[in-house]
Amino acid sequence: MPEKYKVKDISLADRGKLAVEWAEQNMPVLRLIRERFQKEKPLKGVRIAACMHVTKETAVLMLTLRDGGAEIALAASNPLSTQDHVAAYLAKEGIHVYAWRGMSEKDYFAAIASAASMGPDVTMDDGADLTVMLHKVALGEARGIDYEIGSKVLSSSIVEKIRGGTEETTTGVIRLKALQKEGKLLYPVFAVNDSLTKFMFDNRFGTGQSSIDGILRATNILLAGKNVVVAGYGWVGRGIAWRARGMGARVTVVEVDPVRALEAYYEGFYVTDMSSAAETGDVFITATGNTDVIRAEHLLKMRDGAILANAGHFNVEISVRDLERIAVGSRDINENVREYRLPNGRKVYLIGEGRLVNLAAAEGHPSEVMDLSFANQALAVETIVKKWEKLDKKVYKLPRSIDNRVALLKLKALGVRLERLTEEQKKYLESWSG
């Protein structure tokens, strides 16, 4: 690792500490795991390279892993998502942080390479950029800026030492499964995203609220009465759709999957294709995990004043390329809103450069839901360390028993009573004779 850390301003550490304490207060499950890790030290001597959004909640996870005995290098998983005061605090706490808000694309991949250069036993990823860089270097896949930057710093043998990894997002899991499908996955990865206590909560309630939050912070528009178009009705999309409706908007869903489209329809949403939706929407939010969901053909149909935001992991869902290409002019309205004047005289407004709006324009997911996701992360890392010898080079789900543990701890912290099965009921559920 070239430097111990690289952050914007180390003097922000005190403010960062306050923020992390505030987060931890709403993360009771991770707190309990941290207490156990402090005693048991299950990660003693383990080196972890992580590529995650550097937020106050991630900080609580990193400190939990550190208290479990790990040495950690952390790179940002998005150029716009780092909270600089949190990064400073983590650096002070001995985490090797390479992250600051507003990194260039080059800095971004250089930071990942720096983290990877520690020679990790375990990787943690949020979108799979770290894992993909390591694979490209190891496989000699000489395409892309990540390969260019990574191959300068990293040796192709670095992967050999890695026992396993974790992946946080739907997008990342799709990429890793594509790798696996081509037979190129070089170590086992736990798809933390696919745990019930992750995607049903984080993707839905977390992104749902925080994407709306980001749009409000950037624009201060009134959602009541607006026509909001949500592209994608996966867990993120439905979270956004329900919250937008909860704020008084009329919501239209655009989907490619017929079953999901039908579900949205019966849940009372309008459902149509993007070409039709483009004509009536006031606000467009993409959450598909796909590329070019909003393209020139759609942009040119939009109403004057339409607002564009992306909630998906990568900034490819809204074609900024198309926007730049067709616009006759543009200017920044404020830190997070850019106005594009189209040749038809109308204006559209892009939030946060089309990057994930909840991190670009707000603070990302609330601590309460990251508590669940990161409890899964911590237990996934522990599982890798304990069981890596039995794992194949595959994408794994965490076992349902971990979901149950996480959920039970959370319910306890919330003071919620769970019904218990009687012995008679257990027997009934196992019988078929009636």
Strands laid side by side in the 337-341 sheet: 270-271, 250-254, 227-231, 283-286, 306-310, 347-351, 337-341, 329-334
Question: Counting contacts by CB under 8 A, is residue 39 touching a second copy?
Answer: no
For a second copy, what does the binding mask look like between residues 90 and 129, x meaning CB under 8 A? Answer: --------------------------------------xx
Distance CA 61, CA 69 (A): 13
- Pick from 36, 250, 346, 397 the residue near a second copy by CB under 8 A: 250
User: Residue type for 313, please?
Assistant: H
Distance CA 236, CA 230 (A): 10
Which 273-332 residues touch a second copy, going by CB under 8 A? 273-274, 276, 289-293, 305, 314, 316
- Pick from 11, 39, 183, 258 the residue near a second copy by CB under 8 A: 258
Comparing CB distances to a second copy, the nearer of 258 and 343 is: 258
Q: Give the β-pairing of 337-341 and 329-334.
A: antiparallel
Which 219-238 residues touch a second copy, going by CB under 8 A? 219-225, 231
Please, what sign has the CA dihedral across residues 414, 415, 418, 420?
positive
Comparing CB distances to a second copy, the nearer of 328 and 421 is: 421
Question: Counting contacts by CB under 8 A, is residue 399 touching a second copy?
Answer: no
Question: Counting contacts by CB under 8 A, is residue 369 touching a second copy?
Answer: yes
Question: Counting contacts by CB under 8 A, is residue 395 touching a second copy?
Answer: no
Q: Is 290 annotated as a binding residue?
A: yes
Phi then psi for residue 176, to 5 deg, are -70, -35
Question: Counting contacts by CB under 8 A, is residue 140 touching a second copy?
Answer: no
- Strand-pair partners of 270: 252
> Within 13 Å of residue 306, how many CA atoms lie on the same side as its CB?
26
- Pick from 67, 93, 107, 141 the residue near a second copy by CB under 8 A: 141
- Pick from 26, 93, 341, 397 the residue near a second copy by CB under 8 A: 26
Residue written as token pair 């999957």: 257
Q: Is 58 annotated as a binding residue?
A: no
Q: Is 20 exposed, middle or buried (0-12, 13-18, 19+ CB in 10 A)?
A: buried
Annotated binding site: 55, 126, 168-171, 198, 202-203, 232-239, 255, 290, 311-313, 358, 365
